[in-house]
Structure 1
Amino acid sequence: MKKTLLLIFIFSNIFASSRIVTLSPSLNEIVFALGCGEDIVANTLYSDYPKESKKIPKVGGYASLSLEKIVLAKPSLVLVQDYDEELLDKLKKLGLNFHSFRTDNLNSIKNTIRSIGKILKKESRAEELILDINNSLESIKNIVENRKIMIVISPKLELDRSIYISGNNLYFNDIINYSGNSNAYSSKSNNQPVVNVEKIIKMNPDIVILLAPFMRSLGLKKEQLISPWENLPIRATKDNNIYVIDKDYAGIPSNRVINFIEDFKEVLEDVKSR
């Protein structure tokens, strides 16, 4: 009898579905891309891709995660970004099985896909996703070269002293470099670059890309975002090389980086055609 109960316990654990909680949109997307989205029992407020993610119970947002809701989800696995040391410490004290990841640059995104694939026993699918990223990178080589490119994060309708741009430690920088061009901003600091108009004029970018994933929800048009840049004395303005990428994946470091790379490729091809 005892042996029978033991076997039932073993097999029920072998075949029981995982209960995964993802604590960032990027990790949520990666789990879905690996084919394990049905195992996610809770995610965060901004985890809305794929559409099935919207119906999954939420445990809070970037700065409002509820430990109580995470525990109530009874997770067998929690996937979290590694930037919040206080959160990681709390998860550890709660005795939860969690794994933390970085997704700031291309290598860390690919390593995260590979690591989660290993955890979920989806190694083959993980390698397919990584191959897709590598192939998309190859497609942007040598379209245009030696241009200084600036990527602006969440552009505003007015240019003030707090203009957020991509630094040299993010995957945007990797993509720019891979294409044979360079980031208009250069610094050894890992801090989020915040610049003003004077600094932008000094950098004098050849191409400016405005990342505006929330543009449509705010009722804005591309022309409104481009307008503040039209009078700046920079090469990008002179050559009419100001672009807007308004897709929802702009700025989410997941396997969908290939979608951003495709948009980036279209920008380079448009520049080449001028």
Structure 2
Amino acid sequence: MAVATATGAAACLLAALAHGTPSAVAAVAGEAPAMAPGVAPEVASVTVTDDRGQAVSLPRPARRVVALSPALAELAFAAGGGDRLVAVVTGSDHPPAARALPRIGDSSGLSVEAILAARPELVLAWDGGNDPRPLASLRRLGIPVYLSRIETLEGIATTLERLGRLLGSDGAAAARDFRRRLARMGPAGQGAEAPVRVFYQVWEEPLMTINGRHWISDLIERCGGTNLFGERPELVPRIGLEAVVAAAPQAILAAGHGSAGGPDPFQRWRRFPGIPAVADDFLFLVDGDGVSQTTPRTLDAGEAICRHLDQVRIRVRGAGCDRAGSCPGR
């Protein structure tokens, strides 16, 4: 198992001198680094395993952290360690406090020099979203890198716990709160007797949805729905308009991006009044940013999905609709 720790005093000193990192020089030279105001001395070492199975070891919880994706910046705040962040990437705008942090570029275009200039004790990286080459360079220079790849709702809670340990904050409390909220939504795959047939529109052109392994599909199931394209092998498959019409969804959810007043994401579906969701106007907009970031805000969107599907169930039961969505008088 690889361990993301310093590679030796000489290597660290050379890296610090080359990249202007005075705190690193002081640490290698045996001087005590300056303490941030209000921060208690921390001496206990910490080791966690990241989503690549690599052990990330620190001599103490990190006080200077760089987050290389908006979601990781948001998770650091959610875990109670936002005050440890010293730099983030473009798009890190939640919570509002993240907007005041220095930017070091874009998630997909990283500069090792810019990251080192922030003098990080830990880098939080997006496995699959960040270029692995600068991350490898950071490791060679002795900078610990935590790789995050969240693919399930439980993964959000696990990441909050891990970040709490790495940052010396109460991430465990945030994880417990997340799990409580998730449990209130219902168990995974709860198998409602007559689940609401749902089409989730990720993108309009090209038309894209999600399969059953996606965490949004998990949210839909917990809310008593069934993802009509859950059996597709691709995580985010492209599909044809005809396939959606034939599936006859009782609810259509669309990810909303940007400000209100933009294009109507349901415009194409309104041409098909034979679709039960269109006939009953069960066309619901979901916060696309919140549901896609794999942070606690994902549950805000999930709770909204539950409210939407509750509306559908009330209509179906009240109208005496059958399980196929056929209602008297429609």
2-structure distance, mates of 1:83, 1:46: 17
2-structure distance, mates of 1:109, 1:258: 10
The aligned counterpart of 1:129 is 177
1-structure distance, mates of 2:201, 2:298: 17
1-structure distance, mates of 2:259, 2:239: 21
TM-score, normalisation: structure 1 = 0.82
2:113 aligned to which of 39, 48, 68: 68
1-structure distance, mates of 2:250, 2:108: 36
The aligned counterpart of 2:32 is 9
Partner deviation per Cα, 1:76-135 (whole Å, 9 max, x = no partner): 111112214624434433432111112222122222122212222324323333334324
1-structure distance, mates of 2:275, 2:116: 52
1:66-215 mapped onto 2 (5 Å cutoff): 66-84=111-129, 86-87=132-133, 88-121=135-168, 122-138=170-186, 145-155=194-204, 162-187=206-231, 189-215=233-259
2-structure distance, mates of 1:25, 1:164: 23
Q: 1:17 offset after TM fit, Å?
A: 6.5
**Does the aligned pair in 2 maintain the 1:214–1:246 contact within 8 Å?**
no
The aligned counterpart of 2:265 is 225
2-structure distance, mates of 1:199, 1:188: 12
* SS of aligned partner of 1:185: coil
Q: Which structure features the higher share of helix residues?
A: 1
What is the percent sequence identity of the aligned residues? 22
- The number of equivalent residue pairs is 260
Q: 1:37 offset after TM fit, Å?
A: 0.9
Q: Which amino acid aligns with 2:296?
A: N
Q: 1:64 offset after TM fit, Å?
A: 2.3
**Does the aligned pair in 1 maintain the 2:93–2:99 contact within 8 Å?**
yes
1-structure distance, mates of 2:122, 2:138: 11
2-structure distance, mates of 1:188, 1:246: 24
Partner deviation per Cα, 1:144-185 (whole Å, 9 max, x = no partner): 941221211244xxxx5x112122222101111222321111
* SS of aligned partner of 2:236: coil
2-structure distance, mates of 1:25, 1:126: 18
Partner deviation per Cα, 1:183-229 (whole Å, 9 max, x = no partner): 1113352442111212222333221101113143xx416xx222221
The aligned counterpart of 1:3 is none
Q: 1:242 offset after TM fit, Å?
A: 1.1
1-structure distance, mates of 2:106, 2:246: 37
2:275 aligned to which of 212, 234, 243: 234
Q: Are 2:92 and 1:50 equivalent residues in the alignment?
A: no
* SS of aligned partner of 1:112: helix
Larger Rg: 2
| Structure 2, gaps ≥5 residues long | 1-28, 43-60, 316-330
Q: 1:231 offset after TM fit, Å?
A: 1.4
2-structure distance, mates of 1:247, 1:187: 22
2-structure distance, mates of 1:7, 1:169: 50
**Does the aligned pair in 2 maintain the 1:136–1:258 contact within 8 Å?**
no
| Structure 1, gaps ≥5 residues long | 1-5
1:25 aligned to which of 70, 78, 88: 70
Q: Structure 1's 194 and 25: CA in aligned 2 closer, same or farther, altered over 3 A?
A: same
* SS of aligned partner of 1:169: coil
